[in-house]
A = this chain, B = another copy of it.
Amino acid sequence: MIGIRRMSLDLAEGIAVLHRTPSVLRALLGGLPDPWIRCDEGADTWSPFDVLGHLIDGEETDWMVRARLILDRGPDQPFAPFDRYRHLRENRDRTPGELLERFAELRAGNVAELEALELGPDQLRRTGTHPALGIVTLEQLLATWVVHDLGHLAQIARVMAKRYRDDVGPWAEYLPVLHR
């Protein structure tokens, strides 16, 4: 299907993914033994727990905050820079279950707000100013939100897979996820 360029983002299709992410993460991580939740790829890399915290930061400080800024202020007021390390400070004393619940609650509210906006093509073309990337559109922001979810889901799966890197023996060569 790649190569067939759509005229513009089908917002309902994007929302279908955004809506599902909390239940995907709950199905994957809910009640899972802690070594899976806390494993990482080495120094200064993120565990599934850290990724959950980062996704919460996105809900609290990024996606809909920026969408509202585009709609209310346009490109004159640049977005606040996103703090990629906020979650490392905020979540020290939280449990994985608390993060899963918090993310689900925030995401449900943000998706409901997005749907209530009933955005049309004219609004999706509205622009804002990213502090590093410059002019971006609301459509690009919303597409990025979806891709960001899927990228971090892929990351969680990859980090977990590598926990068994030494256990698979000669099968390692058939498992590309271990070499990314």
- Where the two chains meet, the residues of A that have a C-beta atom closer than 8 Å to any C-beta of B are 1-3, 5-6, 9-10, 12-14, 16-17, 20, 23-24, 26-28, 31-33, 35-36, 38-42, 47, 130, 133-134, 136-137, 139-141, 143-144, 146-148, 150-151, 153-155, 157-158, 160-171, 173-178, 180
Contact = CB atoms under 8 A, between A and B. Distances in A.
A68 to B, nearest CB: 18
B164 A158 contact: no
Query: In this complex, which of A20, A176, A178 has the most chain B Cβ atoms within 10 angstroms of its Cβ?
Result: A20
Query: In this complex, which of A24, A31, A139 has the most chain B Cβ atoms within 10 angstroms of its Cβ?
Result: A24
Copies of this polypeptide in the complex: 2
Contacts of A47: 1
A157 to B, nearest CB: 4
A28 B24 contact: yes
A50 to B, nearest CB: 12
Given A13-B36, A170-B136, A154 B143 contact: no
A24 B5 CA distance: 29
Nearest to A148: B175
19 contacts: A1-B39, A1-B163, A2-B42, A9-B167, A16-B31, A24-B24, A26-B27, A136-B169, A143-B164, A143-B171, A144-B168, A144-B171, A147-B168, A147-B178, A150-B161, A151-B157, A151-B158, A153-B153, A153-B154
Contacts of A162: 2
